[in-house]
Amino acid sequence: MLIFVTGGVRSGKSAYAQQRALEICADPVYVATAKIWDEDFKARVKRHQDDRGPEWTTFEAYRDLHLLPLDNRTVVIDCVTLWLTNFFMERDNDIELSLSDFKKEIDQLAILPGTFIIISNELGMGMHAETALGRQFADLQGWANQYVAAKSKEAVFIVSGIPLFLKQ
């Protein structure tokens, strides 16, 4: 089962997804999709790591998440934006190839037994990107979010730490 959790930066998405996972099981899995690009981002990752207790199993993976030992587990995948960045960079900023790769991975996760809570950002509600590349990525993010939401049993939008249930 897929559960989609989306919202703005620092809206409370990760806290909500982690709490939800702990309500489902006592030993959830956290899959971090980020590559550490700089010291500021390293500090953000550290904050996320500090939020999780010893009951969590953590994997770091940039693609092929379905190959991880996730069967019959409750898994938080954080986050689509960083995951997409990996595809976008590997595919030389080709939106179609990046989206195709991403959809294949979502489809592979959707057939695994378990619960997958997938976190994403809503980029289209924020500031308009200054560069053409930034606008292309925002489009890619929007299409990826639509795809995950359509495949998910549940979709939750987090605003100021408050979950709004879009699909149950």
CATH number at residue 84: 3.40.50.300
Instruction: Say which DSSP state 100 is in.
Output: H
Q: Which of 48, 52, 91, 151 is catalytic?
A: 48
Report which secondary-structure segment, H or E, holds 7. strand 2-7
Displacement of CA 5 from its chain's centroid (Å): 8
Domain extent at residue 146: 2-167
Phi/psi of residue 2, each to 5°? Answer: -105, 135
Please report, rounded to a whole number, the percentage of residues in the chain having pLDDT higher than 90.
Answer: 78
Nearest to 58 by CA among 40, 77, 41, 38: 77
| Residue 123: predicted pLDDT | 86
Q: How confident is the model at residue 61 (pLDDT cuts 50, 70, 90)?
A: very high
Total domain count, the chain: 1
3-state secondary structure of 61: coil
| Residue 121: predicted pLDDT | 94
Nearest to 59 by CA among 34, 38, 37: 34
What Å distances lie between residue 136 and 74, 118, 130, 161, CA to CA?
Answer: 32, 22, 11, 28
Catalytic status, residue 48: yes
- pTM for the full predicted model: 0.91
User: For 74-123, what is each residue's pLDDT tens digit?
Assistant: 999 999 999 999 999 999 999 999 999 999 999 999 999 999 999 999 98
Maximal CA-CA distance, the chain:
44
Q: How confident is the model at residue 128 (pLDDT cuts 50, 70, 90)?
A: confident
| Strand stretches in 15-148, DSSP E | 29-32, 57-60, 73-78, 114-121
| Residue 90: predicted pLDDT | 94
| Residue 150: predicted pLDDT | 98
CA atoms of 165 and 25, how far apart (whole Å)? 21
Q: Is residue 42's pLDDT more than 70?
A: no
Q: Is residue 60's pLDDT more than 80?
A: yes
